[in-house]
């Protein structure tokens, strides 16, 4: 039986595509306009063609023609519009309301849905998207097209991802409901995920051994943080950095991960201890970019271009959809679609 076909609208480095593949989909096209992300995607998914341009400039009908896909034929349209415009991280430090120009990209999902009229749609994003007008307009538009929608906020930790990561997920079936995946029985820990890696300086993996340059003052602070879950809050005031005095924003900065617990949400600043609880449980360094990718559930062999630099790679990893989280819900899409098809076939049989 031919695998169901999917399109990844905002592919990034390929987390969503990998999750769909693990569930049993074949991803027939991806769209991404960041050059480094496109390079990474193509290296890991060489058989999936990528349209490397602004999605707003791509003709949905032109894409259908290129892929030789008729309206209503596509099994799944999936995507995660850039979430920076909806994230509380952008305003947590007291900044003004976030007016990111990327907020309007949610409407692109509806534009492609109108053209392709796929059997199912999946959208994933930060929980803050749920209250935005653009998301409400998307939902109204999908219902007018005949989709039955289910929306919820799920913690990726319940689906095999070893970090706390709450995400909004929308599942829509054309004329049928798609149930969310049930939580898995066990949660995966930091130790289970990165505990067997060699020390970074001894690794053959270039992504794991990327050097970390810290000042003597910062290194002294890192060494003082108690192992296995310790925090700068455990230190006396005399040991605190000057910039942390009377600061009440991100309290987890310069904190260590705990071996037998979940990691914090992996963000684009995951290689920098000043951005969150990103210190290694026992080594006096931030987690490596390979460790960050593993905590996002990318496999050890997933390629990231070291030449692009830490910031570019950290951005891709932090923005990626955890493949195992996507896999579980994508499996449910396949199950629900098959059930719908079987129910339709039975009704036709009775009518005949």
- Residues labelled catalytic: 83
d(Cα 293, Cα 308) in Å, to the nearest integer?
A: 16
Structure tokens at 148: 């039955």
Distance of CA 136 to the CA centre of its chain: 22
What CA–CA distances, in Å, run from 346 to 276, 351, 352?
Answer: 54, 9, 10
* Pair 168, 124: CB distance under 8 Å: yes
Structure tokens at 226: 């108690």
Closest CA to 106 of 74, 73, 148, 139: 139
What CA–CA distances, in Å, run from 180 to 25, 153, 197, 254, 333?
Answer: 17, 10, 33, 36, 8
Using a 10 angstrom Cβ sphere, with 0-12 exposed, 13-18 middle and 19 or more buried, the burial of residue 46 is exposed
- Beta carbons within 8 Å of 54's beta carbon, 6+ residues apart: 33
């Amino acid at each position: 039986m031919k695998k169901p076909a999917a399109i990844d609208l905002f592919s990034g480095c390929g987390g969503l595509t990998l999750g769909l593949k693990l569930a049993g989909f074949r991803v027939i096209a991806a769209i991404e306009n960041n050059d480094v992300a496109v390079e990474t995607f193509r290296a890991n998914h060489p058989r999936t063609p990528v349209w490397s341009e602004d999605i707003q400039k791509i003709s949905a009908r032109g894409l259908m023609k290129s892929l030789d896909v008729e309206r209503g034929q596509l099994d799944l349209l999936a995507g995660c519009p850039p979430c920076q415009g909806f994230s509380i991280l952008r305003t947590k430090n007291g900044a003004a309301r976030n007016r990111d120009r990327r907020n309007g990209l949610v409407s692109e999902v509806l534009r492609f849905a109108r053209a392709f009229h796929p059997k199912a749609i999946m959208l994933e994003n930060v929980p803050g998207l749920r209250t935005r007008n653009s998301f409400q307009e998307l939902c109204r538009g999908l219902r007018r097209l005949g989709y039955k929608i289910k929306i919820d906020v799920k913690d990726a930790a319940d689906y095999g991802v070893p970090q706390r990561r709450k995400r909004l997920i929308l599942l829509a079936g054309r004329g049928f409901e798609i149930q969310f995946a049930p939580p898995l029985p066990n949660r995966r820990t930091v130790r289970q995920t990165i505990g067997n890696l060699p020390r970074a300086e001894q690794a053959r993996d270039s992504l794991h051994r990327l050097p970390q340059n810290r000042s003597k003052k910062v290194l002294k602070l890192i060494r003082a943080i108690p192992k296995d879950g310790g925090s700068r809050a455990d230190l006396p005031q005399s040991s605190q950095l000057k910039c942390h005095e009377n600061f009440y924003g991100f309290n987890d900065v310069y904190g260590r991960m705990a071996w037998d617990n979940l990691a914090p949400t992996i963000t684009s600043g995951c290689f920098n201890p000043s951005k969150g609880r990103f210190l290694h449980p026992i080594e006096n360094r931030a987690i490596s970019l390979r460790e960050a990718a593993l905590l996002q559930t990318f496999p050890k062999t997933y390629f990231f271009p070291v030449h692009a630099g830490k910031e570019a790679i950290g951005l891709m990893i932090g923005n990626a959809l955890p493949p195992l989280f996507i896999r579980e819900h994508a499996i449910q899409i396949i199950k629900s679609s098959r059930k719908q098809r079987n129910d339709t076939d039975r009704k036709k049989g009775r009518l005949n």
